[in-house]
Structure 1
Amino acid sequence: MSGADGTRRVRVAAVRGDGIGPEVLDAALPVIARAAAADGVTLDVTDLDWGGDRLLRTGHAMPDDAIDVVRAHDAILFGAIGHPQVDPDVSVWTLVLPLRKGLQLYANLRPIVGWPGVATPAREGAEVDLLVVRENTEGEYAGIGGRVHQGTPDEVATEVAVHSRRAIERIARCGFGHARERGQTLTLATKSNVARHGYGLWDEVVAELGEREFPDVPREQAYVDALATRMVARPESLGVVLCSNLFGDILSDLGAPFAGGLGMAPSANVAPGVDVPGFFEPVHGSAPDIAGQGIANPTAAVLSGAMLLRDVGCPGAADALERAVGTALRDGGARTRDLGGTATTTQAAAAVADALDAPA
């Protein structure tokens, strides 16, 4: 969409959310907008008061027409979700998952990158640059199950995992595409030695698709428990990790320390090939214990903004923003307390902005 002056405009719905969410978005959004402006793009930001406070006030975390509201935008940027007065499952099932499912954002992309100047558990010399590609609509998070005989000794709970050929194939195609683009091996996280029905289907579909459409992309499969060990011991040996919903959630958090922690972990919820807005969010939670103190790390929100810019067709701005993050971390200005530094939330974001403005 272009304005009257010919400037390209990108409509962003901003959900600041709970806890540190407003702080990290307030710090990150101006930096993201500055990167976009340098690439000739203006961000039109609409603030949405969705989250725990709205849920407590109205009984609904978001309005009934929420899907229509976000469809009127090009992208959605989240701060954090999770209110201390709301059960965690309620926060997830009244906002995040309904948006993912309602928009059919079937791919959750979580990059894990080692940054200069940031201490990580990786052994000296190890370079970490991997991408977790997670199926985002099915698996153990399908919401099928229930409890009977509650409160009695005979209580039973069921949680049914759903794995469909269609969903596996579309996320596998996404994973193969990223592996081809990055020149890396695709590693399938599986557990078909025990969960032979659901994960057996994953093994079959990924192998068939690889042979049929991606014969040039190296692929392997690994049992998820062995893969977790490998990620800890040799993270540099991994490229694109293709996962079910549950496995992707766990492995991406396990890998976050190699980027410096959850405060450094961005993510994208997207539907490649489908005309719907993606939503982009830091992997970290709302951290109510430090909310309002101005010490939260805004980097994951900034990097989520870079993923947003790339998704809406601004790769130059995205690249510039990521380079600026690297410079600010290396020089120390963006290192908040969780990274061993002293920068506040606003100071860290300002350091990235300064690096963005510095001559190349």
Structure 2
Amino acid sequence: MNKINLAVLPGDGIGKEVMPESLRVLDLLAEIHGGLKIERTIYPWNCDYYEEHGKMMPDNGYEQLRNHDAIFLGAMGDPSRVPDHIALWGTVINLRREFEQVINLRPVKSLKGVQSPLRSDKEFDFVVVRENSEGEYSQVGGLIHQEADEIAIQTNVFTRKGTERAINFAFELAKTRNKKLTSATKSNGLYHSMPFWNRVFEEEAKKYEDIQTELIHIDALSAFLVTKPQSFDVIVASNLFGDILTDLGAAIMGSIGIAPAANLNINGKYPSMFEPVHGSAPDIYGKNIANPVGQLWTGKLLLEHFGYQELGELLLSTIEELLVDGVKTPDLGGIYSTTKFTDALLERLAQK
């Protein structure tokens, strides 16, 4: 029997509501497969833990997590209690870096049964490959002087290794899809980093002559995601640009609550991490109305990472069936609670 050993961090807010529901679904999918066993260890490392211990996870937290095959992460953060830069750097961002999760993968597609806010009825299906280890999210910089003379310095760091790695990954992914790759840039405004990014992209493109390529400035690209999202297949972007584009991608899908993400370790040394894009939404926590689709779709990415493509497709197609039938949480205009939506999903899956 094949086995996946998961580290589960439910996180904060609605993460603590949608994670248990997603685990119920993963358990059933493993049962459907027959030859798969999903083991898990729950780690209660979140803002509650911080308030009690003064840190987001114990000192040996990384050592505990690295023994797992993958990390299944819920929404993290509660800014009313713990500043975001502490909560996120103490968990999500540092986990990405400690475990060399250098690629952030975020699919964006028009889901059946979900009305996009866009006027166009053309379907879209693209993937954003986001460089996940450096760029605009480097820790290089600092504060100097005080009061009126205070200065904040944030230095972007783009290495050839990191840039080339992300771009190469995107080219390889484009080979398996529709053979089109778009690179997000801003070389008309950023003097050093983006011309460097463009040069590396163009050098890599010479190795993939069968891939159609284009360079588009981030401001225009953001507009095109609204006006013609169906024209994109794979988009590769720096850390900040990729972050912004994927939240916009979630918005054009119809709800940020349905967007998934994968943080991939590609050298096999450490576990990859799978997390939904949506935040912890403290304002609706405890009401049992959070949309579990983002966490569930993230579960699809997790299953596919371990080679269970058919199970992943079964999960997403069944979710779409429910959405078409009007089984929706309030953010999508429905009346189903978090648990009732999951109950309906489990019932439908059991019939497959």
Superposed pair shares fold, TM > 0.5: yes
Structure 1 residue runs of 4 or more that deviate by more than 6 Å after TM superposition: none
User: 1:354 offset after TM fit, Å?
Assistant: 2.2
Amino acid at match of 1:354: E
Given candidates 163, 166, 173, the residue that maps to 2:161 is: 166
CA distance in 2, matches of 1:109, 1:72: 23
CA distance in 2, matches of 1:64, 1:215: 48
Superposed, 1:73-112 pairs within 5 Å as 73-83=68-78, 84-112=80-108
> How far does the alpha carbon of each residue in 1:262-321 deviate from its partner, in whole angstroms, 9 at most, with x for none?
111000000224332111111011100000110000000000011011112222211111
Q: Is the 8 A contact 1:133 1:243 kept in 2?
A: yes
- List alignment gaps of at least 5 residues for structure 2: none
Given candidates 173, 193, 196, the residue that maps to 1:198 is: 193
> How far does the alpha carbon of each residue in 1:201-249 deviate from its partner, in whole angstroms, 9 at most, with x for none?
111111111212x221111110000101111111111111100000001
Given candidates 139, 142, 160, the residue that maps to 1:143 is: 139
Residue matched to 2:263: 269
Residue matched to 1:329: 323
Q: Which moved more, 1:91-100 or 1:274-283?
A: 274-283
Superposed, 1:28-177 pairs within 5 Å as 28-39=22-33, 40-83=35-78, 84-150=80-146, 152-177=147-172
Q: Is the 8 A contact 2:117 2:253 kept in 1?
A: no
Superposed, 1:290-329 pairs within 5 Å as 290-329=284-323
User: 1:35 offset after TM fit, Å?
Assistant: 1.4
> How far does the alpha carbon of each residue in 1:32-74 deviate from its partner, in whole angstroms, 9 at most, with x for none?
2211332221110100011111111111111222222111111
CA distance in 1, matches of 2:299, 2:244: 23
CA distance in 2, matches of 1:107, 1:36: 27
Residue 209 of structure 2 aligns to a residue in which SS?
Answer: coil
Q: Is the 8 A contact 1:12 1:43 kept in 2?
A: yes
TM-score, length basis structure 2: 0.97
> How far does the alpha carbon of each residue in 1:116-171 deviate from its partner, in whole angstroms, 9 at most, with x for none?
11111233431110111100110111111111123x11111111111010001111
Given candidates 336, 342, 348, the residue that maps to 2:335 is: 342
TM-score, length basis structure 1: 0.95
Q: Is the 8 A contact 1:324 1:353 kept in 2?
A: no
- The alignment covers a number of residue pairs equal to 350
- List alignment gaps of at least 5 residues for structure 1: 1-6
Given candidates 6, 30, 35, the residue that maps to 1:12 is: 6
Amino acid at match of 2:289: I
Q: Which moved more, 1:163-172 or 1:254-263?
A: 254-263
Residue 46 of structure 1 aligns to a residue in which SS?
Answer: strand
Residue 162 of structure 2 aligns to a residue in which SS?
Answer: helix
CA distance in 2, matches of 1:270, 1:320: 22
User: 1:196 offset after TM fit, Å?
Assistant: 2.7
Q: Is the 8 A contact 1:141 1:246 kept in 2?
A: yes
